[in-house]
Chains A and B, each alone.
Chain A
Amino acid sequence: QVQLVESGGGVVQPGGSLRLSCAASGFTFSRHGMHWVRQAPGKGLEWLAFIRYDGSTEYYADSVKGRFIISRDNSKNTQYLQMTSLRTEDAAVYYCAKDPRPLSSTTSGWFDYWGQGTLVTVSS
């Protein structure tokens, strides 16, 4: 069965950096685009970024463009989110989510599987 396991969350100071990982199993990772979504405390879900199955294309939400970078290593069945210049408002649970259509040039527009999330706290 599909499993997505996020890791790398923790406490970081404002202005700091953190790299999240998402280990995937149960499907052919190299054939599917992947996303990152977050949920700040008491808030709703916010889409952050998408990466194409082959890593050749990335899309970002305006709120993280220029600060966050999505990447993937298909040999390790893992995607990453490199977060820099972190702000207090970036504190959230960060979820990894799978795009359903294989070998798609862009996002399908929805997510068929999600991980359980990893918590990022931004505080001095």
Chain B
Amino acid sequence: DAGVTQSPTHLIKTRGQQVTLRCSPKSGHDTVSWYQQALGQGPQFIFQYYEEEERQRGNFPDRFSGHQFPNYSSELNVNALLLGDSALYLCASSRLGGGETYEQYFGPGTRLTVT
């Protein structure tokens, strides 16, 4: 089992550009969440996808959007990049169970640098 995989590992973009980050969940998982982690801070929840729909969202602007595919993989898109978007972007997968809570498995992250 490969666990949660993310691509690319590192990315450098220019202010104003658009970026797409990709995530493949752990086998058997159907829910994907995205987090942004600035240097020295804890991860901040961006949004969560389940059954190809955005299920809940954190306090992030509409420039941040996502998608989930039928195979449960997911993309995070960020438009009109700002310098402040420079961060580690983490993908986490889990299994959505009725009434129970399950641990989330995180990928290694994509380091985005905006210049």
Q: Do A and B come from one complex?
A: no
Identify the A interface with B (CB < 8 A).
none
Identify the B interface with A (CB < 8 A).
none
